[in-house]
Amino acid sequence: MIKKSLNIDYLEYTSINDLEGDWLDLIHEADNNLENAYAPYSNFKVSAVCKMANGHIVKGVNQENGAYPSGLCAERVAVFAAKSQFPDQKVDKIVITTADTTTVPVSPCGACRQVLIEYEMTQNQPIELVMKSGDSKVWQFKSVKDILPFAFNGEFLKEKG
Ligand code: THU
């Protein structure tokens, strides 16, 4: 038996102004779209913005439904729309924000992580993530792998038989 361990590096910012490059613009794009979230049941509004390799920005917000499981998280709304409009473009970055004053940044659910890592694996390039809470604390990850170690890989299916 071998004991193994994992170490995950990520950055925490207490001010969004300390982020470099276009992250701040992307956060503003996400925050400005929060009002479009359709979250009448949870009242928990989430916004996600994908930056594609061609520079296009694709936004998504959570969509709820009276039949609860029929709704979809902001991250999947955004990335599915992005890959529908630009199927051949890599997803460079995703920003996730919430209107809620959570003390920790809003972190994608397991299903959204699995969806994001599918694109990360097939595009052979990490998707960088930034997550922000309502009170502006920010976490930055270099790769979806960092928030979903041991992910299921669609390639496993091809190794059968
Ligand atoms: N939600 C998201 O949109 N993204 C997340 O990362 C977590 C949760 C949504 C789903 C639902 O509409 C509401 O937040 C409460 O779970």
Contact 139, 131 (CB under 8 A): yes
pTM for the whole thing? Answer: 0.95
Separation of alpha carbons 106 and 96, rounded Å: 7
Separation of alpha carbons 60 and 74, rounded Å: 5
Does 75 qualify as catalytic in the annotation? yes
Low-confidence ranges of the chain (pLDDT < 70): 160-161
Spatial CA neighbour of 61 closest among 83, 34, 100: 34
Beta bridge partners of 13: 138
Q: To test the ligand 1 pocket, which listed residue (36, 46, 49, 80) has its Cβ within 8 A of the most ligand atoms?
A: 46
Q: What is the pLDDT of residue 155?
A: 84
Residues within 6 Å of ligand 1 by CB: 39, 42, 44, 46, 62, 64, 71, 73-75, 106, 108-109, 112
Q: What is the pLDDT of residue 161?
A: 64
CA 22–ligand 1 middle distance (angstroms): 25
Correct CATH for 11-160 of 3.40.50.800, 3.40.50.12280, 2.40.50.140, 3.40.140.10: 3.40.140.10
Listed in sequence order, the residues at least 6 apart from 18 whose beta carbon sits closer than 8 Å to its beta carbon are none
CA distances, 31 to each of 27, 40, 143, 148 (Å): 6, 18, 22, 25
Determine the atom of ligand 1 nearest the C-alpha atom of 112. 6
* Residue 69 structure tokens: 């499981």
CA 24–ligand 1 middle distance (angstroms): 22
CA 58–ligand 1 middle distance (angstroms): 18
Phi, psi of 112 (to 5 degrees): -65, -40
C-alpha radius of gyration, the chain, whole number: 16
Task: Give the tens place of pLDDT for each residue, 19-36.
Answer: 999 999 999 999 999 999
- Domain boundaries in the chain? 11-160
Determine the atom of ligand 1 nearest the C-alpha atom of 41. 12
CA distances, 28 to each of 11, 25, 141, 161 (Å): 19, 5, 18, 49
